[in-house]
Amino acid sequence: MHVMSEPQPPSTEEGPEEDRTERIYRTIEDPELSDRNVMRLLRTHLSWKDWFYADFLRYVYWLASSTLDVFIVLELARVFEVRDSVGAFLLLVTLAILVIMESIPYRMLWPEGPLTRRRAP
């Protein structure tokens, strides 16, 4: 379509954005559709902004958190010169505490978890 051409109403085949969204929600409410297919359907119809918040930031969050955890634990091991099993155990406890602390904001930001769940009828 040329940039200077007159705006045309959406085709009846595609419909406006609201109609397309409603069709998607009607489709995913089908009880015979598996959760895996629901997730795939929803993710293929996300706008770039929704995809950015729903998927990309979720993956970057865990990648950055994991990197920071490894850095902190290795730096503590270097600074305190951990060479015995008690020190290694304390480092593992520290790592577990860090992961738990990072999972709390993750669960607050993305309460649905990695799989998209169906909307309540």
Q: Map out the domains of the chain as residue ranges.
A: 15-45, 48-121
Residue 33 and residue 72: Cα distance in Å, rounded?
Answer: 44
Query: pLDDT value at position 120?
Result: 46
State residue 90's pLDDT score: 97
- The answer on pLDDT for 14 being more than 80 is no
Q: What is the predicted pLDDT for the residue at 2? A: 45
Are the beta carbons of 41 and 116 closer than 8 angstroms? Answer: no
Contact assessment for residue 32 and residue 118, using Cβ atoms and an 8 Å cutoff:
no
Confidence of residue 76 (pLDDT cuts 50, 70, 90): very high
CB atoms within 10 A of CB 111: 8
What is the token pair recorded at 61? 């969050």
- What pLDDT is recorded for position 17? 61
More confident residue, 121 or 105: 105
pLDDT(119) > 50: no
pLDDT at 38: 78
* Half-sphere exposure at residue 28, Cβ-oriented, CA atoms within 13 angstroms: 22
- Asked if 116 and 38 count as a contact pair (C-beta separation under 8 A), the reply is yes
- Window from 8-17, 55-64, 81-90 with minimum mean pLDDT: 8-17
